[in-house]
Amino acid sequence: MAEGGSLRLDKFLWFARIVKTRGLAQQLAQEGRLRLAGRVVDRAHAPVRVGDVLSFALRGQVRVIKVEGLPTRRGPPAEARLLYSEVPEGPLTSQGSQD
């Protein structure tokens, strides 16, 4: 895994095995179906960094993931699973209310 820096959004999604092809990752971005840190992304070359939160709808479910590492290649599934962690709640709902 690469330390620091950034990686294209479409490459990250493909390397992390979230989508089957890089073309599908590009399509998700171009259709505006991805959010990066709460902002709609409409370009596949948007930079992704460690700590970024991505949210998107895929295969009938909404997923929210936190980027834990940047890959240097498309490795085996066990290696790809280490690149991100699932966020159980959306970033806005995890803040709670302060009374």
List per-residue pLDDT tens for the chain, 99 residues long. 555 699 999 999 999 999 999 999 999 889 888 999 889 998 999 999 999 999 998 888 889 999 999 999 999 999 999 999 999 864 454 444 444
How many CB atoms are located within 10 Å of the residue 33 CB? 15
Amino acid at 37: A
- Structure-token match 């960094």, residue found: 49
CATH T-level topology, domain 7-86: 3.10.290
**Domain ranges, ordered by start, for the chain:** 7-86
What is the distance between the alpha carbons of residues 77 and 18, in angstroms, rounded to a whole number?
10
Strands 61-67 and 53-58, by their bridges, are antiparallel
